[in-house]
């Protein structure tokens, strides 16, 4: 569907590059929200296909599986690009203006979205926050839970991490990619991914009600796969020898909470945040005390911090993928969200049973 909207309000490129505050629960004025918080979009005129822009890979995967062949779905953030670093260009803004819908994760993940929402206010563009209505946790919740499970060394390590995160926010104030204190990584919990898929389904059905049954059929089929994935995680992680894991980036709070684990992050919610020397020392001490043999790092960013700690304690470094984008290797192996999540499950099972 080529549903041309009125041109955006004049927005200079310099203004585009100023990242708005990441926390955002607003929707475009052309949408409303229902009791559950999911977007209710005004129905669009009948035509061939919906033209949908999405922010980054997980939202692309969920939207494509719901829309099927009834929409042209394109991610704004290219494959292999760390989404925390991305900002829309004038070309991206023009493509958004030509679209029928913009679907994004929300909960502070897309630091640029506030600027976009302000620009399209009053236009027919339908904007959908996929995480709307979900129980969003604070970025430090995993550290608070950690205090209930570990010795004083672990507690101090996480207190130090929290201070380092605050310092990092001040140091990068001009180009901040923090999440406003919220953890946006909901897609890493399959049960929350299901809720995002339902929110997307509801928005598509409202925009193209003549295809509502098709969208429901597609969503049901994909959700069945997500439910199977959830069961695999439950079965695979319920009897592991240990329940804590060290990861370079605090992206796995929702996954850990869902399956009774505790993530011990070296740095905060932003993968580009550098931990302080004091916090590095505390993490090393914690790892030695708890005989940690695997330090997890992630794709799309440098593994140097994880490698340093692993070398210090005689452990190995391994990937735990936050699925913020596909790498060339992922694409060459035809991996998708479900496949990478299963790789994450195997990585966790291995590390937690050492």
Nearest CA among 111, 322, 67 for reference residue 217: 67
CA 74 to chain centre: 17
| Distance separating the N- and C-terminal Cα atoms of the chain | 53
Query: What pLDDT was estimated at residue 121?
Result: 84
Query: What pLDDT was estimated at residue 267?
Result: 83
Counted residue by residue, the chain has a size of 354
pTM score: 0.79
Q: Phi and psi (nearest 5°) for 48?
A: -75, -65
Query: What pLDDT was estimated at residue 273?
Result: 67
Distance (Å, whole) CA 152 – CA 290: 12
- Render each residue's pLDDT in the chain as its tens digit; 354 residues: 433 333 333 333 333 333 333 333 333 434 433 433 444 455 555 557 999 999 999 999 999 999 999 999 999 999 888 898 799 999 999 999 999 999 999 999 999 999 999 988 888 999 999 999 999 998 754 343 443 444 344 444 445 444 444 444 443 333 334 555 899 999 999 999 999 999 999 999 999 999 999 999 999 999 999 999 999 999 999 999 999 999 998 999 999 999 999 999 998 776 666 788 888 899 999 999 999 999 999 988 889 999 999 999 999 999 999 999 999 999 999 999 999 999 999 999 999 999
Query: What pLDDT was estimated at residue 216?
Result: 98
Query: What pLDDT was estimated at residue 27?
Result: 38
Distance (Å, whole) CA 217 – CA 209: 14
Query: What pLDDT was estimated at residue 20?
Result: 34
Tracing tokens 């585009």 back to the chain, one arrives at: 16
Query: What pLDDT was estimated at residue 203?
Result: 98
Query: What pLDDT was estimated at residue 72?
Result: 98
Query: What pLDDT was estimated at residue 1?
Result: 46
Distance (Å, whole) CA 326 – CA 303: 17
Residue 220's contacts (CB-CB under 8 Å, 6 or more residues apart) are: none
Query: What pLDDT was estimated at residue 2?
Result: 39
Are residues 281 and 181 in contact, defined by beta-carbon separation less than 8 angstroms? no
CA 161 to chain centre: 21
CA 88 to chain centre: 18
């Amino acid at each position: 569907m080529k549903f041309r909207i009125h041109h955006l309000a004049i927005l200079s490129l310099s203004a585009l590059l100023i990242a708005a505050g990441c926390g955002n629960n607003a929707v475009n004025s052309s949408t409303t929200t229902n009791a559950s918080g999911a977007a209710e979009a005004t129905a669009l005129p009948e035509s061939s296909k919906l033209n949908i822009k999405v922010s980054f890979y997980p939202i692309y995967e969920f939207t494509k599986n719901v829309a099927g062949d009834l929409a042209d779905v394109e991610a704004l953030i290219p494959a292999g690009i760390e989404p925390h670093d991305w900002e829309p260009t004038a070309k991206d803004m023009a493509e958004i203006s030509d679209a029928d819908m913009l679907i994004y994760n929300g909960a502070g993940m897309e630091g640029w979205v506030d600027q976009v929402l302000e620009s399209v206010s009053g236009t027919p563009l339908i904007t959908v926050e996929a995480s709307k209505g979900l129980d969003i946790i604070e970025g430090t919740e995993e550290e608070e839970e950690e205090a209930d499970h570990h010795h004083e060394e672990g507690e101090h390590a996480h207190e130090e991490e929290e201070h380092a995160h605050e310092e990092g926010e001040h140091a990068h104030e001009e180009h901040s990619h923090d999440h406003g204190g919220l953890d946006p990584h909901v897609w890493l919990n399959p049960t929350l991914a299901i809720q995002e898929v339902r929110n997307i389904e509801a928005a598509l059905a409202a925009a193209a009600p003549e295809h509502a049954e098709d969208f429901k059929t597609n969503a049901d089929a994909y959700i069945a796969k997500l439910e199977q994935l959830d069961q695999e995680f439950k079965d695979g992680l319920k009897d592991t020898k240990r329940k804590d894991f060290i990861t370079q980036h605090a992206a796995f709070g929702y996954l850990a909470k869902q399956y009774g684990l505790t993530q011990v992050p070296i740095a905060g919610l932003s993968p580009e945040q550098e931990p302080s020397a004091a916090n590095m020392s505390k993490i090393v001490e914690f790892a030695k005390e708890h005989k940690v043999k695997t330090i997890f790092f992630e794709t799309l960013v440098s593994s140097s911090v994880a490698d340093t700690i692993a070398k210090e304690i005689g452990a190995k470094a391994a990937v735990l993928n936050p699925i913020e984008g596909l790498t060339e290797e992922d694409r060459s192996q035809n991996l998708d969200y479900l496949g990478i999540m299963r790789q994450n499950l195997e990585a966790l099972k291995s590390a937690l049973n050492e």
